[in-house]
Amino acid sequence: MDFEKYIDSFHGTKVLVIGDIMLDRFEYGKVERISPEAPVPVFRFKREKQMLGGAGNVVANLVALGCHTVFTGIIGDDINGEILSSMLRKTGAHSHLLKLKNYPTIIKTRYIANNNHLLRADQEEPMPFDEALLPRFRSILEKAISMADIVLVSDYNKGLVNPSVCPMVIEICRGAGKKVIVDPKGSDYTKYSGATLVKPNLKEFSEATGRKYDPESPDFRKDIISGAVKLFDKYGIENIIVTLSEHGMMFIPADNPDNAIQIPTAAREVFDVSGAGDTSLATLGAALGAGIPEADAVRLANAASGIVVAKLGTATVTAEELKKSLAEESHRAKTSVMEPAFPAKNIMPERKIVTLKEAEKIVSRIRGEKQRRIIGFTNGCFDCCHLGHLSSFIKAREACDVLFVAVNSDNSVRRHKGPSRPLQDEKTRSLLLASLEYIDYVIIFDEDTPLGIVEALRPDIVAKEGYTLDKWPEGRLAESYGGRALTLPRVEGYSTTGMLERINR
């Protein structure tokens, strides 16, 4: 599978999303004591984060993957509806929103303390979908579907994807020759009849087929296929994908159910399954909309789900994250086959060289993890990597869990050291550093100082060899936001300038 080529083909793919949108709120804080009033924890609020939820999270994932995305759905004619509308615009997606009076926009609020979910509070009312809206909605859908490569229906059972709207969507899609993928809810799939693909999770599949399934059973594959065939016969669905949580996914085509494909999970550690179904739906839609074969599309969707469940809260996966994950997976597979005698460290130096924007996303992801990890930072020209540098990297890495190293660009080195430097170009220097197991990520910067990087990443520790705070602005900045400035011990007798002088002599 040429995954890079596949993922690059997402750009320009036109995807229409239809479904139930909501506002996800995350209230972050701490719990340090139990209330004296009742045996409940006291939540000390720190900050709030708002995100697109429900079908809105499908939209956010599609935009992150590079797709041209259009959304149509219903919101309340209220302040929270305006917030959702604004958030959709900020993603870059286009939207056609029907605003209902006297209908509150759905809000799901999660309270999180020390990266643990304490409580979810839902604000919602059953949506009274007005049948009088159907002609207007049909007109919007016909135009939007005609311009789409593929249509995704995200049903959260909130009222929009009802027995009137969903069959109308599928009818228009079939008439226009467009694929339609449904993320279903409930046990009755009548309204999904004729869909190109339906993607339930195992619990939803059990409800729809009326039986339980055990992924550990030797008959699991046969039982799933049997259940899928019943749905094919009853509802005329063309394909089914059952998501199996830690057991991966299974794809069953109606034209040859015995050719079902089960793909094991790509997740290494699960922190939060919130939104994983939205991510797999978005990736599957992007892939099939780009014309990627079904089996490969399922593998891409499975890989994307494996990434997002390692993040805390409703999350998205970018095209670059997906490429990187699949490259690492491919490398592990090749290494295990080609070099069985040497357990692979799987070091891919070029993958550790990142832009500042990518570094910010990495830091954000790390800080969203359940288990807290200390982020460290150091910087330099590193023109000739010597024992002094190596000692600094080891000491810095001992003080943190993840180490970012910023490397001066060629232009920046010339401004500092003169026209005869650097001896090695920025690509060589950064690649050499990325090859060291002590260093997790390398950033090349063109400015005179890395102050901008420290400001953007706000690492917990900023480390440097031999500098005092009065001559170390990055250290002062770290201490100003509550970080730690760590002065590393100097290994005497080692410097690039000294090495060059000895070589010249």
Active site residues: 278
Question: Residues near 349 by Cβ (< 8 Å), separated by ≥ 6?
Answer: 431, 434, 435
Q: Which of 438, 370, 371 is nearest to 404 (CA)?
A: 438
List phi, psi (to 5°) of 8.
-60, -30
Question: Residues near 41 by Cβ (< 8 Å), separated by ≥ 6?
Answer: 31, 33, 34, 35, 113, 118
Q: How far is CA 225 from the centre of its chain?
A: 30
Q: Kindly report the number of other CB atoms within 10 A of residue 497's CB atom.
A: 11
Q: Is 372 helix (H, G, I), strand (E, B) or coil?
A: coil
Exposure pattern of 413-446 as b/e (b: 16+ CB <10 Å)? beeebeeebbebebeebbbbbbebeebbbbbbbe
Residue type, 285: G
Q: Which of 316, 365, 342, 348 is nearest to 440 (CA)?
A: 348
Q: Are 131 and 161 in contact (CB under 8 A)?
A: no
Q: Alpha carbon of 301 to those of 109, 249, 305: distances in Å? A: 27, 9, 6
Tokens representing residue 295 in the block: 């089996």
Question: Residues near 321 by Cβ (< 8 Å), separated by ≥ 6?
Answer: 307, 361
* Bridge-based pairing state of the strands 261-263 and 249-253: antiparallel
- Distance in angstroms (rounded) separating the CA atoms of residues 405 and 227: 53
Angle of CA points 474, 475, 481, to nearest 5°:
90
